[in-house]
C-alpha cells in the first residue's frame, strides 16, 4: 500500500508565494487522490504494492497492461508530488536565493550562470502546454532541463527518448491545480513567486546523491 506523506513544513509556511488553501487542496485532495487511485489500480498485485513508488514508475513496463495507464498517471502523481514537497521550504528559512557548492558549479557548467538557468527553467515551465511538470535533471552529473506531460516523470521509460532515465533534482508542478486559486491564469506570476520557496539545500542533496 502506498501512503500520503506529510508535508515537511506547515501548510501556511510557503505564504505569501503559495497560499495555505492551495497547499491544503493540493496535498490533502489532489495528492491523496493519486495515492488512493494507485492503491486501487494495484489491488491484488502485491508485488507492486510493496515497491517504493520511484521503483514502480521506473518499471511501468512490468505492470500488467490493463492497469498500466492508471499506474502511470497515479503512480507518477504520487512520485512527483512526494518529490515536489521536499524541494520547497519556508521563504523565512533557507529557501530562495541561489544554490551553493557542487550544484552551483554544475549549473554554471551547463547553463553559463544561475540567472540564465533560472530564465531557461522558467521558460520551460511557462511554455509547457497544458498540465505537466518542468524538471532539472541530472545524468551522471550533467544537468539539463526537460518538461513532461500530465504526471509523467523523467524516472520512467514511458517518457520520450532523451528525457528518460534522468534523475530529478528539482521539479515544478504547472498543473492549474497548483496555482489557479491564487494566480488564476497567470502561470508566469506563479513561477516567479515559486523561486522564493525553492529549498536549495534539498536540491543540492539530490544532485550530490545522483552523482
**Are the C-beta atoms of 20 and 182 separated by less than 8 Å?**
no
Question: In the complex, what is the shortest distance from the CB of residue 61 to Mn ion, in angstroms, rounded to a whole number?
Answer: 25
Per CB under 5 A, residues contacting Mn ion are: 173, 175, 178
Question: In the complex, what is the shortest distance from the CB of residue 203 to Mn ion, in angstroms, rounded to a whole number?
Answer: 18
* Residue 81 among known ligand-binding residues: yes
**Are the C-beta atoms of 114 and 204 separated by less than 8 Å?**
no
Q: Looking at beta carbons only, is 23 or 143 nearer to Mn ion?
A: 23
Q: Looking at beta carbons only, is 81 or 204 nearer to Mn ion?
A: 81
* Residue 177 among known ligand-binding residues: yes
CA dist 188 and 125 (Å) reads 9
Of all residues in the shown chain, the one whose CB is closest to Mn ion is 173
CA dist 187 and 180 (Å) reads 8
H and E: helices and strands count for the chain: 10, 3
Question: In the complex, what is the shortest distance from the CB of residue 75 to Mn ion, in angstroms, rounded to a whole number?
Answer: 14
CA-derived radius of gyration, the chain: 17
Residues making up the annotated binding site for Mn(2+) are 26, 81, 173, 177
Residues making up the annotated binding site are 26, 81, 173, 177
Amino acid at each position: 500500500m502506498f501512503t500520503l506523506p506529510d508535508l515537511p513544513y506547515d501548510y501556511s509556511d510557503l505564504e505569501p508565494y503559495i497560499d495555505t488553501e492551495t497547499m491544503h487542496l493540493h496535498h490533502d485532495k489532489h495528492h491523496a487522490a493519486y495515492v488512493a487511485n494507485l492503491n486501487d489500480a494495484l489491488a491484488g498485485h502485491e508485488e507492486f504494492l510493496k515497491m517504493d513508488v520511484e521503483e514502480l514508475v521506473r518499471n511501468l513496463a512490468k505492470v500488467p497492461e490493463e492497469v498500466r495507464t492508471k499506474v502511470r498517471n497515479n503512480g507518477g502523481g504520487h512520485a512527483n508530488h512526494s518529490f515536489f514537497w521536499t524541494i520547497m521550504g519556508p521563504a523565512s528559512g533557507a529557501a530562495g536565493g541561489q544554490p551553493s557548492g557542487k550544484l552551483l558549479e554544475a549549473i554554471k557548467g551547463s547553463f553559463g550562470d544561475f540567472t540564465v538557468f533560472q530564465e531557461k527553467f522558467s521558460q520551460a515551465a511557462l511554455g509547457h502546454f497544458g498540465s505537466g511538470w518542468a524538471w532539472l535533471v541530472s545524468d551522471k552529473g550533467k544537468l539539463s532541463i526537460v518538461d513532461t506531460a500530465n504526471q509523467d516523470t523523467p524516472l520512467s521509460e514511458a517518457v520520450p527518448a532523451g528525457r528518460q532515465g534522468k534523475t530529478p533534482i528539482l521539479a515544478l508542478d504547472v498543473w492549474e491545480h497548483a496555482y489557479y486559486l491564487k494566480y488564476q491564469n497567470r502561470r508566469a506570476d506563479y513561477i516567479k513567486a515559486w523561486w522564493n520557496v525553492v529549498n536549495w539545500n534539498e536540491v543540492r542533496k539530490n544532485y550530490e546523491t545522483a552523482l
